[in-house]
Structure 1
Amino acid sequence: MLKFSFKSAVWSAVLLLLLLSLLTPLSVLSIFFMMIPGVILYASLSVKSFILHLVPVAIILVMVHPIYLLFMVILILPAIAMGHAYKKQKSALFALMTGAGTMLAEYLLLLLVGSLIFQFDLSSYIRDVVQLTIEPLTNSSNQMINGFVWTPEMTEDIAKQTQLMIPFALVVTSMVMAFITHIIARPILSVMGLNVSKLPPAREWRMPRALIWYYFLALIIEVVSRQNDGSYWKMIAMNLSPLINLGFMIQAIGFFFFLSYTRKWNPIIPFLLGAAVFFIGPLRIVGIIDLAFPIREAISKSKR
């Protein structure tokens, strides 16, 4: 493993700057790159050297504000999890799931600790944020100009819907953070001499066929939630369906890349189709059909 060097000192500085950006407007973007320095440092250094690199960062953070030290601990743990997976030569998918799972577990733990110990009321916080966001719409002069009346009931409904979607948002955020970290950290670690597995090519992306059954289960839960006033079933329905649809979108993207590869299309075409999947909802049907029927096998046989 690498010992202290100028490169490792630079990555420590990058970690410091990213952490300091968390209480600034830049945090909207920097949060997604937060694990990268930690992953690179842990994967390329011995545990002792890694700790020694964190000590000066921690000291500076405490001098600025102790809250930054908490941020560092929260964000360094999933970075360690991903870096450890790289050290053990695990697959790229395993490293991604490990990093995303650790981050998601921390999110849930923070919500639990905040609720039980610090009496943090997530419902009230979301309601206040929604109220602040839509305040221009509730202005009487704006309502008169636009001819649209925004009622307090609408605000309450948006706040409830937002709260119900929190689990989905946490899952997607964790996955995106882990994915971005892998995409950027893998080539850097490869240049540093560490062998890190690649993700399978997009044309090989395939979701488990059981996702079809989960889709039908989500439909049943959605029907139950409409007949039940409780928020529990409604929360499951609102989070399960988007996650399953995301799986179908990934399947559709994989199919487009597979089709492009077998048909020798222009390389830009699958990227355009893949981007369109996220903006044109019905395109996910391609993923459902590809998952339910052996279309790729039929295409491969027809090429022989």
Structure 2
Amino acid sequence: MAWSVAYLLLLLSLSTPLLIITTLFLIIPAVVLFTTLSTRQFIMHLVPVLVIVGLITPVYILLAVYFLIPALVMGRWYRKRASAMSTILAGMVTILGEFLLLLLLGTALFNFDLSTYVNDMLQMVTSPLSDLGTVNPLMADLNFTSEDVNTLSYMTIQIIPMTLIVSSFMMAVITHSIVRPILNSMDYAVPRLKPAREWRLSRSFIWYYLLGVVINMLFGASDSSFMLMISANLLPLLRIGFMIQTIGFLFFLVYERKWSKIVAILLTVPVLMLPGLWIIGIIDMAFPLRELVTKSKR
């Protein structure tokens, strides 16, 4: 009952300025309820919540259903005692699939044009800045011409795939990181993620990165929007993967040297903040750095 009430309050909070925050947690109550209850009990708890929401703000039923689908998928994986990473990936793929399905339906049924929408939004945002630059000569750099807005709009469209992938992954990770201790406190054991020191990616990621570099070199100045979109999204995504590999290596180093975990956290901050340190992840993939650390310890 407590989680049903929490779910109801989260759905109702979508009509408040808190919606940007509460949206990140909408999956959590449904996951907890679906995992810990039988399907029949889950429906009995869910229906009253949807009825109340429908009576107050009917449109939010659609949002509830939207976030309910990945909750059911992740809950299903938790029921099967699947590994933490497979559960996160299942949730991420489901959320990403819903994003893409919405874009497809919006384009097919409502003639929604994403490029036009992004351009209009940027025009709306940059227009006050341009007016301010016109009034105040000290802020003349804030003037945005229509060509500047079109260029910015084009660049934004190019990185939307990466944005959708990263945001889907982060929502799944946030959900798992909160749901797991909750389920454990309810005596429902859920597998945890591997320790950071064991984070390792396949060496094939190096070849993917080289492929992305080649694509960028060959098509960086071409008019092929498809190839430009690949290079604009593939390389940043791979760099995020290399950052994860770098963090895994640093935690492994700290663990082997028996240093405090605080040291690992402090070493992680520059990796996240400074560009280029992800190269350590590539070196860790290509060469047996961890084996060298183990041997030097002996």
TM-score of the two chains, using structure 2 as the length reference:
0.95
C-alpha contact 1:43 1:83 (8 A) present in aligned 2: yes
Q: State the distance in 1 between where 2:296 and 2:270 align.
A: 27
C-alpha contact 2:247 2:271 (8 A) present in aligned 1: yes
Q: How far 1:150 sits from its partner (Å)?
A: 2.5
Q: How far 1:22 sits from its partner (Å)?
A: 3.0
Counterparts of 1:24-63 in structure 2, within 5 Å, are 24-63=16-55
Specify every segment of 5 or more residues in structure 2 that has no aligned partner in the other structure, as ranges: none
Cα 1:275/1:170, change in 2 over 3 Å: same
Please give the per-residue CA displacement for 1:60-110, whole angstroms capped at 9, x wherever unaligned: 121122221111111011011111111101100110011111111111001
- 1:290 to 2:284 alignment: yes
Counterparts of 1:74-223 in structure 2, within 5 Å, are 74-139=66-131, 140-142=133-135, 144-148=137-141, 149-223=143-217
Q: State the distance in 1 between where 2:269 and 2:25 align.
A: 22
Cα 1:173/1:284, change in 2 over 3 Å: same
Pairwise CA RMSD of aligned residues? 1.4
Equivalent in the alignment of 1:227: 221
Runs of 4 or more consecutive aligned structure 1 residues displaced over 6 Å after TM superposition: none
The worse-fitting range, judged by mean Cα deviation, of 20-29 and 147-156 is 20-29
Equivalent in the alignment of 2:294: 300
C-alpha contact 1:189 1:195 (8 A) present in aligned 2: yes
Alignment counterpart, residue 264 of structure 1, candidates 258, 275, 286? 258
Letter of the 2:88 partner, please give it. L
C-alpha contact 1:82 1:99 (8 A) present in aligned 2: yes
Q: State the distance in 2 between where 1:85 and 1:168 align.
A: 25
What is the identity percentage for the equivalent residue pairs of Structure 1 and Structure 2? Answer: 46
Alignment counterpart, residue 67 of structure 1, candidates 48, 59, 63? 59
Equivalent in the alignment of 2:238: 244
Q: State the distance in 2 between where 1:206 and 1:111 align.
A: 34
Residue correspondences, number: 296
Q: State the distance in 1 between where 2:12 and 2:223 align.
A: 44
Q: State the distance in 2 between where 1:196 and 1:73 align.
A: 25
Q: State the distance in 2 between where 1:145 and 1:196 align.
A: 58
Cα 1:198/1:106, change in 2 over 3 Å: same
Q: How far 1:116 sits from its partner (Å)?
A: 0.3
Letter of the 1:44 partner, please give it. T
Q: How far 1:137 sits from its partner (Å)?
A: 2.2
Cα 1:37/1:232, change in 2 over 3 Å: same
TM-score of the two chains, using structure 1 as the length reference:
0.93
The worse-fitting range, judged by mean Cα deviation, of 272-281 and 97-106 is 272-281
The worse-fitting range, judged by mean Cα deviation, of 118-127 and 12-21 is 12-21
Equivalent in the alignment of 1:4: none
Q: State the distance in 2 between where 1:14 and 1:232 align.
A: 44
Query: What is the SS of the residue equivalent to 1:117?
Result: helix
Letter of the 1:184 partner, please give it. I
Query: What is the SS of the residue equivalent to 1:99?
Result: helix
Q: How far 1:142 sits from its partner (Å)?
A: 4.7
Equivalent in the alignment of 1:11: 3
